[in-house]
Amino acid sequence: MRRQAATRFVISVFLLVALMGPLAPFHGVARADGVTFYATASDGYLSGGGYDYYAAHNAASGSVNQGNTANLVGQFRSYGGCAIHRSALFFNTAYIPDTATITGASLRLYGTQGFGTGYSIAVVRGADLNDPLVAGDYGDLLDETASLGQMDIAQWTTGGWNIIQLNSNGLAQISKTGITKLALRSTKDIEGIDPPFGAFDYAGFRSAEGGSPAMLCVSWTVGTTVPTVYNMYAFNVGNYTATLKGWLIDDGGEHCEYRFEWGLTPNYGNATPWTGSITSGSYFYAGLSGLTPDTTYHFRFRPQCKNSAGVGSGCDLTFTTPPIGDDSFPPEVGVEWVNGYPGWGHDLSLSDDSTAELAAALQGQGWSLQFNNPPDGQDGRAWEKHFKSAMRGGWDYLYADSVDLVMFSGHGDPGRLIFGGSSQDDEYLYGYEAYWGDIDLEWALLEACSALAYDDGVSSNKYDGWFAQALGGARLICGAATSIYGDNGQHVGPRLAAGWSVMDAWFWGCFENQDFYGHSCTLRVIAEDPGYFGDAVWGCGPTIIADPIVDNYYYCLNFVI
**Residues 521 to 540: which contact another protein by CB under 8 A?**
527, 530-531, 533-534
Confirm or reject binding of residue 496 to another protein (CB under 8 A): no
Among 501, 502, 538, 548, indicate the residue that binds another protein (CB under 8 A).
501
- Amino acid identity of residue 261, one-letter, is E
Measured between alpha carbons, how far is residue 144 from residues 45, 123, 125, 173, 203 in Å? 15, 9, 6, 13, 19
Among 413, 422, 426, 427, indicate the residue that binds another protein (CB under 8 A).
413
Q: 451 with 466: CB under 8 angstroms?
A: no
Confirm or reject binding of residue 464 to another protein (CB under 8 A): yes
Q: How many residues bind another protein (CB under 8 A)?
A: 72
Q: Sign of dihedral through CA atoms 251, 253, 255, 258?
A: negative
Confirm or reject binding of residue 432 to another protein (CB under 8 A): yes
Distant-in-sequence, close-in-space partners of 376: CB < 8 Å, separation ≥ 6: none
| Among 184-192, 219-227, 280-288, 342-350, the segment contacting another protein (CB under 8 A) | 342-350
Among 160, 211, 518, 542, indicate the residue that binds another protein (CB under 8 A).
518
Quote the Cα angle for 192-197-199, to 5°.
65
Q: State the alpha helices, DSSP H only, in 19-65.
A: 53-57
Confirm or reject binding of residue 407 to another protein (CB under 8 A): no
Among 378, 516, 542, 545, indicate the residue that binds another protein (CB under 8 A).
516
Confirm or reject binding of residue 457 to another protein (CB under 8 A): yes
Complex with another protein: residue 205 or 387, whichever CB lies closer: 387
Q: Is 75 helix (H, G, I), strand (E, B) or coil?
A: strand
> Taking the CB of residue 10, how many other CB atoms lie within 10 A of it?
9
- CA atoms of 44 and 280, how far apart (whole Å): 44
- CA atoms of 555 and 481, how far apart (whole Å): 14
- Sequence length of the chain is 561
Q: Sign of dihedral through CA atoms 119, 120, 121, 125?
A: negative
Complex with another protein: residue 176 or 462, whichever CB lies closer: 462
| Among 64-72, 115-123, 140-148, 507-515, the segment contacting another protein (CB under 8 A) | 507-515
Among 25, 345, 375, 542, indicate the residue that binds another protein (CB under 8 A).
345
Confirm or reject binding of residue 143 to another protein (CB under 8 A): no
| Among 211-219, 320-328, 368-376, 482-490, the segment contacting another protein (CB under 8 A) | 482-490
Show contacts with another protein in window 539-558 (CB under 8 A): 552-558
> In whole angstroms, how close is the CB of 516 to another protein at the nearest point?
6
> In whole angstroms, how close is the CB of 344 to another protein at the nearest point?
5
Q: In what order do the strands lie in the sheet with 522-527?
A: 368-373, 332-337, 405-409, 443-447, 476-480, 522-527
Confirm or reject binding of residue 247 to another protein (CB under 8 A): no
Among 66, 340, 485, 549, indicate the residue that binds another protein (CB under 8 A).
485
Among 162, 351, 372, 389, indicate the residue that binds another protein (CB under 8 A).
351
Confirm or reject binding of residue 462 to another protein (CB under 8 A): yes
Confirm or reject binding of residue 519 to another protein (CB under 8 A): yes
Confirm or reject binding of residue 297 to another protein (CB under 8 A): no
DSSP letter (8 states) at residue 142: G
Beta bridge partners of 78: 81
Confirm or reject binding of residue 161 to another protein (CB under 8 A): no
> In whole angstroms, how close is the CB of 367 to another protein at the nearest point?
17
| Among 142-150, 195-203, 319-327, 443-451, the segment contacting another protein (CB under 8 A) | 443-451
- CA atoms of 322 and 436, how far apart (whole Å): 15
> In whole angstroms, how close is the CB of 20 to another protein at the nearest point?
9
Among 242, 418, 429, 434, indicate the residue that binds another protein (CB under 8 A).
418
Confirm or reject binding of residue 79 to another protein (CB under 8 A): no
Regarding beta strands 228-235 and 275-278, do their DSSP bridges make them parallel or antiparallel, or are they unpaired? unpaired
- CA atoms of 76 and 200, how far apart (whole Å): 4
Confirm or reject binding of residue 411 to another protein (CB under 8 A): yes
DSSP string, 527-543: ESSGGGGGPPPTTTS--
> In whole angstroms, how close is the CB of 524 to another protein at the nearest point?
10
Beta bridge partners of 164: 107
Confirm or reject binding of residue 196 to another protein (CB under 8 A): no
Confirm or reject binding of residue 46 to another protein (CB under 8 A): no
Complex with another protein: residue 425 or 464, whichever CB lies closer: 464
> In whole angstroms, how close is the CB of 370 to another protein at the nearest point?
23
Quote the Cα angle for 390-393-396, to 5°.
40
> In whole angstroms, how close is the CB of 521 to another protein at the nearest point?
8
Among 141, 348, 405, 441, indicate the residue that binds another protein (CB under 8 A).
348
Show contacts with another protein in window 354-393 (CB under 8 A): none
Confirm or reject binding of residue 81 to another protein (CB under 8 A): no
> Taking the CB of residue 516, how many other CB atoms lie within 10 A of it?
8
Confirm or reject binding of residue 456 to another protein (CB under 8 A): no
Q: Is 313 helix (H, G, I), strand (E, B) or coil?
A: strand
Confirm or reject binding of residue 350 to another protein (CB under 8 A): yes
Among 230, 268, 297, 508, indicate the residue that binds another protein (CB under 8 A).
508
Confirm or reject binding of residue 492 to another protein (CB under 8 A): no
Confirm or reject binding of residue 469 to another protein (CB under 8 A): yes
- CA atoms of 388 and 352, how far apart (whole Å): 21
Ramachandran class of 230: left when φ > 0, alpha when ψ lies in -120 to 50, beta otherwise: beta
Q: 106 with 166: CB under 8 angstroms?
A: yes
Q: Which of 202, 44, 214 is nearest to 129 (CA)?
A: 44
Q: Which of 444, 481, 451 is nearest to 466 (CA)?
A: 451
Q: State the alpha helices, DSSP H only, in 208-336.
A: none
Complex with another protein: residue 397 or 511, whichever CB lies closer: 511
Beta strands in 2-157 (DSSP E): 17-18, 31-38, 44-50, 63-66, 70-78, 81-92, 100-114, 120-125, 150-152
